[in-house]
A and B are shown apart, each in its own frame.
Chain A
Amino acid sequence: MGILEVKNVGKRFGGLQALGNVNLSVAENSVHAIIGPNGAGKSTLLNCLVGKLIPDTGSVMFDGQSVLGRAPHEINQMGISRVFQTPEIFGDLSVLENMMIPCFAKRDGAFEMNAITSVVSQKDVIAKAEAMLEDMNMADKRHMHAASLSRGDKRRLEIGMCLSQEPRLLLLDEPTAGMARADTNNTIDLLKQIKQDRDITIAIIEHDMHVVFSLAERITVLAQGTPLVEDSPENIKGHPKVREAYLGETAH
């Protein structure tokens, strides 16, 4: 029984069957990659997991509870954090403030009207945020405007923000898309470090086979909205069906 159980999930957009009949099980404390060619339904599946879309059929269970019909912030509160393809951070806020917001969310829940709380009672939150920035090697940038960070730093910040909520499942949507090789390798190292330091499950949707094979312990291949095969990286590499449907096309 995995921490995330996807059963018979299907989703149609008008005439297009985006997801056929997806079954997926992500084991606790594993790194699970979902790969597939463009249009295979990876993003749709992800959106079904975080409450942005509601599937037409099937169920999505996280740690024994259904996530369907819950708002994104409620699913997040259950312990699922999401990293976006293009980093979604608070561009108008400073780096430190970016980090403080998830810390507040963790401390106060979905809504707290701490409207005139003084600087003093924020101290624990600031301390936690500062510590996380240290972990991310970003402490020196804490007063920068988040929008002015480099792409790689934005990604680190976003991952850090997700981690400071202490999630049980971290969803990464093509975390290295559009990155230079060096940044990509840094991100891989960061993710490896994270896995090493914490008890956390990571589900990763990725295009880049280098990233997938460096990180993943288990791989699901999605094609035309249905899972083609699920196996360990070693087996996937040599799988004939996968080669045919996916690896052949992308020439990796």
Chain B
Amino acid sequence: MNAQDLQDEVQVVTTGCFGFCEKGPIVKVIPDNTFYVSVEPGDAGEIIAEHAIKGRRVDRLLYVDPTNKQQIADSRGMGFYKKQIRIALRNCGLIDPENIDEYLAADGYEAMGRVFAEMSPEEAIQEMIDSGLRGRGGGGFPAGIKWQIASKVEADQKYVVCNADEGDPGAFMDRSILEGDPHSVLEAMVINGYCIGATKGLIYIRAEYPLAINRLKIAIGQARDYGLLGKDILGSGFDFDVEIRYGAGAFVCGEETALIHSMEGERGEPTFKPPFPAQSGYLGKPTNVNNVETFANVPVIFNKGAKWFAGIGTEKSKGTKVFALAGKINNVGLIEVPMGITLREVIFEIGGGIKDGKKFKAVQTGGPSGGCLTEKHLDTPIDFDNLLSAGSMMGSGGMIVMDEDDCMVAVAKFYLDFTVEESCGKCSPCRIGNKRLYELLDNITKGQADKEDLENMRNLCGVIRDSSLCGLGQTSPNPVLSTMDNFMDEYIAHVEEDRCPSGVCKDLIRYEIIPENCVGCTACARNCPVNCIAGERKQLHVIDQSLCIKCNACFEKCKFNAVAII
């Protein structure tokens, strides 16, 4: 560019990952958004000469749409950018969440007005059913049907509850929606109230989300001031108001009966269903519980029509799903993709691939209730049913990517540790079974288990799944079962060879100094917290295995690859 004396007119800037790594290196020319893929150094001259100076596109380097074989120049027309559709997140990052006017300007509360003016509750529920929207909290129960059940129960008082007790570690979809677009949830709750005949709404939110709580409070206040909450909303004669209830750090309260008990000031222990909350919920009254993301979809369904919504996604899973992409992935972030997208597209295209160029090993979906999916699942279209049959589940949408450095036994143990801590303790299989499962896994990571234990563990998993009281226990063995199904070789290596193939399990590894590589820089010795590395400057260093606590410090400090994990 400088050579062509164009530095004043054309700027070259580095940008973040375009999320399109398979076709890298990528060059994009602004202002016309031309997107060049697979650019090699030799091509750069051509781009400058042709495009920047003469304004002609270099067709040879344009992206070719794999479906219709046409070259696409404008990046916004490229298939990759169609991969994300923002419905639940439509306003996140675009409007000021603390200003109701911005929400109103973005068609806010229009769905509510439309429902009041044009639809009977039955018609509105039918619209919900037709949309095919399934609950986004994990179970995937059709939201419209849930509303219909609650609407048909006779009662003097009913409740609408928004489940914002997002507890999956590594998931933050609901928090982002509440922080970025709180009114969309409020609007949906009013519509829900109108449909089932409830005049009170409650939002059960984690106390760990102070910002979301604050923005919700502001939103509720503004909606009340505008007459969009409270008595006689928009002159419809319909009353509805919303209160906030706080969780206090119990994952199990994501289960709707536990959540209701918690809102009643009780220990958050689930109760057997039936009766379902739709029959007997908060204070014994019919209650409809949906989660944040489910609600955030609702206004769009009424604004754009059930048909439009049902046009997105797969046959049985309509619309989009928000995922919190995290772990060993380049573009950690919040994404919203249509149902039916493949894991490969999510991880390698949107997510920009694995961090530090490492090898993809597994992706965990559905949090502690889900399972680990592998290479062979990468091209499976993501929807509720496919994930279930692959041994995982949609869950609320956490997606944690793991690479070759992660030991799958240790990962399963991590999830079980979580379950053991979060089990409410009410039923025996979950209270004791998960503890025993954790202990068995712990023994495996310490090399203290044998093959028989693996069989024992499998049976235990089956019984916990089959006989636990609530969803937490019924799904808690999934991380174990899915890793056993997909990474049995790692389990076998642990129990039969006392070896952790990923070098993670402390009791099965040792650190050793490779004499050929050691230059005697003393970095390892100086950083060893227990002073178990001996050696003079410029001399070979040696680790005293009897003292080593396997803290990994020497490994991290060594610049010469002279410390090996064996």
A and B form one complex: no
